[in-house]
Structure 1
């Protein structure tokens, strides 16, 4: 994983986990890698992964079973979607709106482009 400097690494790891959940790579109530396993996979300090897991647990996306490990919560998909949706609305949408305004792209043009892009994504599956 290539980390960028614009966001703390633990949040980038949390985003990666949310993406795996939202893409159904990891299913609700499925066990996920331990802190150490994920730290090795991502070549980061285990404390960073532990911080990500704490963050995701506070968001009710994952749960921990003492002595067993971490699991996607039963409503992890909905919670991950809510978290990522709020993140998009707070951070990415203002930039998108500004760019659309600067480039004078109308809502109708954007709608057509989004439909085209969505079709392309479905085709690539």
Structure 2
């Protein structure tokens, strides 16, 4: 797996987990890979996965059940959605809006591209 230098690896891995949850690949109550298995799968140090899982546990996305392992909480989807929306609004949108201003784009300019993107990627 290729990681970006600017963002801590554990947060990049947390994003992978969040995406799997948002895409309903990992469902509420479902067990997720063990620390060792996930570390081997992503070719990272197990301590990085520990840090990722601790972060997601603090966010209420996953829970560690002694003797069972980690699983997605019942409200994990909603917690991920809220966390990712907040992160997007605080960190990504300001940069996006700046780019719009620099390129003299408005929402109407983006509407066509957005519709094409949705049709190509999210229509079933």
Shorter chain as normaliser: what TM range?
over 0.9
Structure 2 unaligned blocks of 5 or more: none
Cα distance in 2, alignment partners of residues 47 and 7 from structure 1: 17
Superimposed CA distance per residue, residues 47-80 of structure 1 (whole angstroms, 9 cap, x where no aligned partner): 1100000000000010110111000000111111
Cα distance in 2, alignment partners of residues 69 and 14 from structure 1: 17
Cα distance in 1, alignment partners of residues 25 and 58 from structure 2: 21
Structure 1 unaligned blocks of 5 or more: none
Superimposed CA distance per residue, residues 28-51 of structure 1 (whole angstroms, 9 cap, x where no aligned partner): 100000111100101111111000
Q: How far apart are residue 91 of structure 1 and its match?
A: 1.3
Give the aligned partner of residue 86 of structure 1. Answer: 86
Q: What SS does structure 1 have at the residue aligned with 2:122?
A: helix
Q: How far apart are residue 10 of structure 1 and its match?
A: 0.4
Cα distance in 2, alignment partners of residues 87 and 111 from structure 1: 23
Q: Give the TM-score normalised by the residue count of structure 1.
A: 0.94
Q: How far apart are residue 92 of structure 1 and its match?
A: 0.9
Cα distance in 2, alignment partners of residues 114 and 78 from structure 1: 24
Q: How far apart are residue 121 of structure 1 and its match?
A: 1.1
Q: What SS does structure 2 have at the residue aligned with 1:105?
A: coil
Q: How far apart are residue 112 of structure 1 and its match?
A: 2.7
Give the aligned partner of residue 12 of structure 1. Answer: 12
Superimposed CA distance per residue, residues 91-122 of structure 1 (whole angstroms, 9 cap, x where no aligned partner): 11111000000000111112232122111213
| Cα RMSD after superposing both structures | 1.1
Cα distance in 1, alignment partners of residues 43 and 116 from structure 2: 37
**Moved runs in structure 1, 4+ residues, more than 6 A?**
none
Q: Give the TM-score normalised by the residue count of structure 2.
A: 0.95
